Amino acid sequence: MSAPLNPSESDPLAAAAGEGLYQRIFEFAPDALLVVDAEGHITLANAHSETLFGYTRSELLGQAIEKLVPARFATHHAQHRAHFKTSAHSRQMGAATELCALHKSGHEFPVDIMLSPMQADGQGLTLCVVRDITERKAAQDALERQTEELRRLHAELELLANHDGLTGLFNWRAFYEHTGQMLKIAHRRRENVTLLLLDLDHFKSINDRFGHPEGDRVLQAVAAALRETARDNDIVARHGGEEFVVAALGLSAEEGLVAAERLRAAVAAIENLKRPITVSVGVATLPPQPNKHVDPRALAELLDQADQALYVAKNNGRNQVWHYDPLGPPAQAHQTPAA
């Protein structure tokens, strides 16, 4: 014989005891429990509701549930409630973010809410479970702030690791990495890579005569001029000391000379320094290679060629551009006369 589905059919006393248990569970639940009717009025409230919202139960019963919603959300809340009434379904905790409730004092606080439609005496009701998540929200906000701070610190560390602290240009490490990638792209596209090595003329005399602060100012001004004059996709870096280097994709030897002359002229045109400055430029161009893979020595060899051309530019009077000639000694390198 199967057990009766309704305890009251066999034991009215047990049913009464069960109802008393449900009432105690409702009354002493650790969350605020509210029962709202189809018109949005509060019909039941437990003890924790008084603690959470600051109202006595008599102040809550019969009131619209929007009484507990900040004014700026009240209209939307009423619309959501009307929609929920036509398509009632359970809503679990954590289904939405940034829900706010309103305390009697006017203080707003973050809450999580569970909704459960139910029927009682043929009437459609909604059980609302409201949980104060102020501490959880504060912990989440603190975690987000810490995460954002870590991101910021990581970005700063990455900037410091890849950029020269004085000029803001790429440092040698970053230049080597990015130019290595440029060589791979050039190899795949069958394009040239041109390297321009620039050295300030008589820079030591600037430090000796005007001091290192002026020397630093000169380096910063030169870096700014190179950054503004170079193409957006060129790689501009401080090579060390008073030397700078630019890697350019897709320039022929002749176009590399033109680009170098443009950079030389931009440096010569810098104003508001204690002494006019000039720069010598050595240029080397790597044509497309027949090898299947990029020669790992290609960048070092290209730098060495540009350095040889720069040496010629220095020895031939400075403030000029020379291109390395692979068919002859550096002394026979091509020259673009200084403007």
| Euclidean distance between CA atoms 199 and 228, whole angstroms | 18
- Tell how many helices (H) and how many strands (E) occur in the chain: 10, 11
Burial class for 60, CB neighbours closer than 10 Å (0-12, 13-18, 19+): buried
Q: Where are the beta strands (DSSP E) in the chain?
A: 32-36, 42-45, 99-102, 108-120, 123-132, 193-200, 235-240, 243-249, 279-286, 321-323, 334-336
**Catalytic positions, please?**
242
Exposed (0-12), middle (13-18) or buried (19+): which is 318, by Cβ within 10 Å?
Answer: middle
The terminus-to-terminus CA distance of the chain in angstroms comes to 111
Q: What is the DSSP string of 268-327?
A: HT--SSSS---EEEEEEEEPPP-SSS--TTHHHHHHHHHHHHHHHHHHTTSS-EEE--TT
Whole-number CA gyration radius for the chain: 38
* Cα–chain center distance at 293: 35
* CA 140 remoteness from chain centre: 19
Contact 242, 314 (CB under 8 A): no
Round to whole Å and give the CA distance between 151 and 91. Answer: 35
